[in-house]
Amino acid sequence: MEVNGTATILSSAYLAVEFVDSVLPDNPLQEPLKDAWNHMLQNYSKFQIATWGSLIVHELIYFLFCLPGFIFQFLPFMQKYKIQSDKPETWEKQWKCFKMLLFNHFCIQLPLICGTFYFTEFFSIPYDWDSIPRWPYVMAQCFGCAVIEDTWHYFLHRALHHRRIYKHIHKVHHDFTAPFGMQAEYAHPAETLILGAGFFIGIMLFCNHVILLWAWVTFRLLETIDVHSGYDIPLNPLHLIPFYAGARFHDFHHMNFVGNYGSTFTWWDRLFNTDSQFNKHYTNNKAVKTD
């Protein structure tokens, strides 16, 4: 019964995506993108695309998404959106974070990225333009990856907070009680591997084209940099995602070192009541403001 139920849910999701895809207009940028993609295929090998292409996508996307938060610290009118306004960023903290990032990106993550080509070959994942799924399917696959990664992250992240192992691994990520965007991947190498493993589970289940690797990297980096940004920006389009955690939710975790263990969504914290302190804190704050 459980298998049949899961199959029904997946079938319904697929039909919903098909319907959305059928009513959307054609992408006006499709032809330029097609020419650029085919140019890449003609001039670079699959190994170069999978390895160096993935590294370039990761580095460009990461620091591009970090840039707005970095600029915000110099804009006085943005400080009203800073969650912990009494703890401004400092050059010392940012430099410390940047050095750790370079180590993690090139000594931990790059060796893993080097396995991307062999992963795509083993599972016969295509690279050609004609096999690229339309973007509603890619978005649906990214959402599926996010659900799986969030589940992995919640339980492993919560385990890393256990008093017997916290100081050995996860304490590094909590060096900064007021997070900023660049700190999203600032972590102990062991944590990078432990929590990072959740990133690959969805890929192994859903990946049907190399483009999904890059789309999922982009979405995951956008999400994790946003929740670590330290700024609760109004009209944030990511808040349109159902049960999206957001910066205020995760910022509370860094401020208090407990609760709010989910990475993208709030449902596991709600189910296990690990967001109770967060809810109590902001309920009291609203009451004070009302008074």
Parse the chain into domains and list their residue ranges: 90-290
The whole-angstrom separation of Cα 149 and Cα 132 is 23
Query: Do 127 and 214 touch, CB atoms closer than 8 A?
Result: no
pLDDT digits (tens, 9 = 90+) for 245-256: 999 999 999 999
pLDDT of 11 strictly over 60: no
Residues 55-82 have pLDDT tens digits of 999 999 999 999 999 999 999 999 999 9
What residues contact 122, with CB distance under 8 A and at least 6 apart?
Answer: none
Residue 283, burial from CB neighbour count under 10 angstroms (0-12, 13-18, 19+): exposed
**Residue 201, token pair as written in the block:** 């589970």
**pLDDT band, residue 241 (cuts 50/70/90):** very high
Task: For residues 8-21, give the mean pLDDT.
Answer: 57
Q: Is the pLDDT of residue 2 over 50?
A: no
Q: Which residues contact 63 (CB under 8 A, 6 or more apart)?
A: 182
Segment 113-155, tens digit of pLDDT = 999 999 999 999 999 999 999 888 899 999 999 999 999 999 9
Confidence at residue 6, expressed as pLDDT on a 0 to 100 scale? 44
Angle between helix axes 276-290 and 246-256 (nearest 10 degrees) is: 110
DSSP string across 170-225? GGGGGG-SS--GGGGG---HHHHHHHHHHHHHHHHHH--SHHHHHHHHHHHHHHHH
